């Protein structure tokens, strides 16, 4: 990836399981793109919250041997109906926290719950806030930071509701991951409609784009996600955090999106070109 002559550098990462189920292959492809960090959602086709202690230790050994740090745990927490008992999600969060401790990261990606068909976001707001406060309280006890992702069809899928969550929960353990493609897929112009109000809470960048016309995910810069404007604004605002490639270019499966090594490389190089345009380097 880029080595800019400017003083602005972001830390490049990526969803390893979008490349391969095998962490060794994940490391090789990410390092070929210049990344020295990985975002862990699954390994060996096992979700991060379902890995045993022995499997976590094995994964940590592989990553350390490969010289890879972990940018975040990409957990599925909150990607369930809000009617599910919160104790279940708190229990899964504890497993994600353990994974974060073993793998050496303070960030855990979460979501803000689905709702039953035919119900409105407004009808579940209070339940969502109760659930999100419980998750944030658990995170505070453990010293980790939850990153809310604006996934399509959860409560926090549009900027106003994302803002409602982070302001209402009002916890230092709850911050935001920015996903432009997900905003596009719910009809939002990400930078135009969301950046100014959400920037004070934005701590992590997930990199994928999408077209407004058909919601198809694309490499960065080939959709309507206003990614170049967002990169430029983050540069000017002094952002210096993680930018994590999540291309979703080939298929989806039960663990999340998938790209494969070739498509993942295409996505990485597309993002690289946008960073070069902005004068942003990577490390």
Q: Give the containing element (helix H, strand E) for 178.
A: strand 174-179
Helix (H, G, I), strand (E, B) or coil at 277: helix
- Residue 59 is assigned to a structural domain of this protein: yes
Consecutive H or E run containing 210: strand 209-210
Tell me the pLDDT band of 250, cut-offs 50, 70 and 90.
low
The predicted structure's pLDDT at residue 4: 45
109: enclosing H helix or E strand? strand 107-110
Structure tokens at 95: 């497993």
Instruction: Check residue 7 and give its pLDDT.
Output: 72
Is residue 2 included in any domain, yes or no? no
Residues 18, 69, 41, 226: is their CA dihedral positive or negative?
negative
Indicate whether 208 belongs to any domain. yes
Q: Of 147-161, 197-211, 253-267, give the lowest mean pLDDT range.
A: 253-267
Beta-bridge mates of residue 253: 256
* Domain around 36: 9-282
Contact partners, residue 26, CB within 8 Å, separation at least 6: 16, 17, 19, 20, 38
Where residue 260 falls among pLDDT bands split at 50, 70, 90? confident
Domain presence at residue 115: yes
How many folded domains does the chain comprise?
Answer: 1
Six-digit token string for 59: 């994964």
Give residue 258's pLDDT.
Answer: 61
**Has residue 167 been placed in a domain?**
yes
Bridge partners of 251, per DSSP, are: 258
CA distance 141 to 139: 5
Query: Which residues have CB under 8 Å from 31's CB, separation 6+?
Result: 66, 67, 68
Alpha-carbon Rg for the chain in angstroms:
18
For every residue of 227-263, DSSP letters joined together read HHHHHHHHHHHT--SEEEE----SEEETTEEE-HHHH
Residue 1 lies in a domain: no
Angle in degrees, CA 271, 274, 277, rounded to 5? 155
- Answer yes or no: pTM beyond 0.85: yes
Q: What's the rounded Cα separation, in Å, for the pair 85 and 121?
A: 18
CATH code: domain of residue 123: 3.20.20.150
User: In terms of Cα–Cα distance, which of 154, 65, 48, 153 is closest to 101?
Assistant: 48
Q: Which of 5-14, 114-123, 139-148, 163-172 bottoms out in mean pLDDT, i.e. has the lowest?
A: 5-14
**pLDDT value at 6 more than 80:** no
The structure tokens listed for 28 are: 């090789």
110 touches 148 (CB < 8 A): yes
Whether 4 is covered by a domain: the verdict is: no
If 0-12 CB within 10 Å is exposed, 13-18 middle and 19+ buried, where does residue 139 land?
buried
Q: Is 8 left (phi over 0), alpha (psi -120 to 50) or beta?
A: beta
The string of pLDDT tens digits covering residues 187-235 is 999 999 999 999 999 999 999 999 999 999 999 999 999 999 999 999 9
Q: Is residue 128 part of a domain?
A: yes
């Amino acid at each position: 990836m880029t080595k800019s002559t400017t003083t602005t550098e972001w830390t490049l990462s990526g969803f390893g399981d979008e490349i391969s189920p095998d962490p060794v292959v994940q490391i090789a492809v990410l390092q070929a793109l210049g990344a020295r960090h990985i975002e862990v959602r699954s390994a060996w086709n096992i979700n991060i919250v379902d890995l045993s202690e022995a499997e976590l230790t094995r994964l940590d050994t592989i990553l350390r041997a490969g010289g890879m740090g972990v940018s975040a745990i990409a957990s599925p927490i909150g990607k369930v109906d809000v009617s599910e008992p919160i104790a279940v999600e708190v229990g899964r969060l504890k497993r994600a926290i353990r994974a974060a401790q073993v793998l050496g990261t303070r960030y855990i990606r979460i979501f803000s719950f689905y709702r039953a068909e035919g119900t409105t976001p407004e009808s579940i707001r209070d339940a969502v806030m109760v659930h999100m406060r419980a998750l944030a309280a658990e995170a505070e006890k453990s010293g980790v930071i939850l990153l809310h992702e604006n996934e399509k069809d959860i409560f926090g899928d549009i900027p106003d509701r994302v803002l409602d969550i982070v302001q209402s929960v009002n916890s230092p353990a709850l911050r935001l991951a920015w996903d432009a493609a997900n905003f596009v897929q719910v009809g939002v112009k990400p930078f135009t409609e969301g950046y100014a109000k959400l920037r004070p809470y934005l701590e992590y960048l997930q990199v994928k784009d999408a077209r407004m016309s058909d919601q198809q995910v694309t490499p960065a810069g080939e959709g309507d996600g206003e990614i170049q404007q967002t990169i430029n604004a983050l540069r000017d605002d002094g952002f210096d955090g993680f930018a994590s490639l999540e291309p979703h270019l080939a298929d989806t499966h039960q663990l999340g999106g998938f790209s494969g090594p070739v498509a993942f490389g295409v996505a990485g190089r597309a993002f690289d070109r946008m960073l070069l345009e902005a004068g942003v380097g990577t490390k």
